[in-house]
């Protein structure tokens, strides 16, 4: 069986440490032990600290206890491995690692990808337009950018975002019923594939109280109301639009299998409030299984050996199939 590919994200952040720690934890589980995607020298010190023997592979090798399998990528000049430093060179390497992982999945050498944290500043400094993994995955997979969506998972919530890293005014201008509908369909498709029959999808309102019949604006009447109607008309169990506080309140939250947030903070705040740094981030719609973590590259502690791999472990287990029911209660 092909394996999960684990990219180290920004090599100057905590990603290399997290990737090796996660691999060390999973090395005895052949179904979940990942193949790390990186410049081999970036992870060799961490492998030695973890008591793992480093072995280069194209991704097809079977897992062995005590072995850190690495899909080698030549991307970061050795003098540029500077833990704690935000740099264009590390940003370019971040993209190179993900590109290699996507190519390996398309070649049948991996069944899913997990990415350690990146730095948007570093990637953009390399001259690569980048606003997060979903857009880059879309580009690498030949899928329209507005059909790949981020879903945060954690704290008992699954929240997919219709828009993500952009100025709020631009996000609102770009909203259409079709965009909200596509986000909901991506979430429903993932849930069905994960074994959730007939998922119920909630849709957040754009304005307070979902506009309250036009009292607080007509954006919901223009966008979210027709999106929900279209979803219902196609057989998807959709509810809303409702204000986020009402939709995620104790009386409704447990009835939902997923919710559609309209913009970045609307979805991120509740998940991160409940799950903290253990949240997982799934990218849906790119034609492959992909997850990353819900926290950043933590440059302030990079190289110190104190980073917690729990979020990476959750992400690997999630895309590997072990936690689809336990991590995301149906």
What are the backbone angles phi and psi of residue 212, rounded to the nearest 5°? 45, 60
CA geometry: angle at 131 spanning 130 and 136, to 5°? Answer: 60
Gap between the Cα atoms of 62 and 262, Å rounded: 42
pLDDT digits (tens, 9 = 90+) for 226-283: 999 999 999 999 999 999 999 998 878 889 999 999 999 999 999 999 988 788 888 8
Gap between the Cα atoms of 23 and 66, Å rounded: 10
Gap between the Cα atoms of 56 and 48, Å rounded: 15
Q: Where in the chain is the domain with CATH 3.40.718.10?
A: 1-145+285-330, 149-276
When mean pLDDT is compared across 14-23, 134-143, 151-160, the lowest value belongs to: 134-143
When the pLDDT of each residue in the chain is averaged and rounded to a whole number, the result is: 92
**pLDDT > 70 in the chain, percent:** 97
Gap between the Cα atoms of 230 and 151, Å rounded: 21
B/e letters for 146-165, b = 16+ CB within 10 Å, e = fewer, are: bbbbbbbbbbebbbbbbbbe
pLDDT at residue 330 above 70?
A: no
104's enclosing H/E stretch is: helix 88-106
**Regarding predicted confidence, which is higher, 180 or 328?**
180
CA geometry: angle at 311 spanning 248 and 102, to 5°? Answer: 105
Q: Which residues lie closer than 8 Å to 21 by C-beta, 6 or more apart?
A: 46, 50, 307, 309, 312
Gap between the Cα atoms of 272 and 91, Å rounded: 25
Q: Are 56 and 74 in contact (CB under 8 A)?
A: no
pLDDT at residue 327 above 70?
A: no
Gap between the Cα atoms of 183 and 77, Å rounded: 39
Strand arrangement, sheet containing 35-38: 53-56, 67-72, 35-38, 4-7, 112-115, 290-293, 280-284, 149-154, 157-161, 258-261, 200-204, 237-242
Gap between the Cα atoms of 118 and 146, Å rounded: 21
Identify the CATH assignment for 149-276 out of 3.40.50.300, 3.40.50.720, 3.40.50.11540, 3.40.718.10: 3.40.718.10
Say if residue 287 is exposed, middle or buried (CB neighbours under 10 Å; 0-12, 13-18, 19+): middle
What pLDDT score does 323 carry?
42
CA geometry: angle at 328 spanning 115 and 6, to 5°? Answer: 15
The strand pairing partners of 70, in sequence order, are 36, 56
What are the backbone angles phi and psi of residue 179, rounded to the nearest 5°? -70, -45
With cut-offs at 50, 70 and 90, classify the pLDDT of residue 34: very high
pTM of the model: 0.81
What pLDDT score does 193 carry?
82
Q: Are 224 and 202 in contact (CB under 8 A)?
A: no
Gap between the Cα atoms of 281 and 311, Å rounded: 10
B/e letters for 180-219, b = 16+ CB within 10 Å, e = fewer, are: bbbbbbbbbebbeebebeebbbbbbbbbeebbeeeebeeb
Identify the CATH assignment for 1-145+285-330 out of 3.40.50.920, 3.40.50.300, 3.40.50.2300, 3.40.718.10: 3.40.718.10
CA of 72: how far to CAs of 7, 40, 58, 259, in Å? 11, 6, 8, 38
């Amino acid at each position: 069986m092909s394996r999960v590919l684990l990219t180290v994200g920004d090599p100057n952040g905590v990603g290399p440490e997290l990737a090796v720690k996660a691999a060390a934890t999973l090395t005895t589980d052949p179904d979940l032990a990942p193949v790390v995607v990186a410049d081999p020298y970036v992870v060799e010190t961490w492998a030695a600290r973890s008591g793992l023997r480093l072995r280069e592979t194209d991704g097809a090798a079977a897992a062995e206890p005590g072995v850190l399998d690495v899909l080698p990528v030549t991307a970061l000049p050795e003098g540029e491995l500077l833990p704690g430093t935000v740099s264009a060179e590390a940003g370019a390497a971040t993209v190179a690692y993900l590109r290699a992982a996507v190519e390996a999945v398309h070649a049948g050498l991996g069944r899913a990808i997990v990415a350690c944290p990146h730095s948007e500043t570093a990637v953009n400094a390399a001259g690569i337009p980048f606003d997060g993994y979903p857009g880059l995955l879309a580009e690498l997979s030949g899928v329209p950018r507005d059909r790949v969506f981020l879903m945060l998972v954690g704290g008992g919530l699954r929240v997919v975002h219709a828009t993500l890293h952009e100025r709020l005014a631009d996000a609102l201008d770009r909203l259409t019923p079709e965009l909200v509908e596509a986000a909901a369909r991506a979430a429903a498709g993932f849930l069905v594939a994960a074994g959730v029959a007939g998922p119920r999808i909630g849709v957040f309102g754009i304005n307070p109280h979902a506009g309250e019949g036009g009292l607080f604006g007509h954006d919901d009447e223009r966008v979210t109301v027709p999106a929900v109607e279209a979803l219902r008309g196609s057989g998807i169990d959709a509810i809303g639009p409702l204000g986020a506080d009402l939709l995620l309140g104790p009386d409704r939250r447990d009835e939902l299998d997923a919710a559609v947030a309209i913009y970045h903070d609307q979805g991120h705040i509740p998940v991160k409030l409940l799950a903290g740094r253990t949240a997982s981030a799934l990218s849906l719609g790119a034609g492959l299984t992909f997850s990353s973590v819900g926290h950043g590259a933590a440059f302030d502690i990079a190289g110190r050996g104190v980073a917690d791999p729990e979020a990476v472990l959750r992400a690997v287990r999630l895309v590997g199939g072990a936690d689809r029911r336990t991590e995301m209660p149906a």
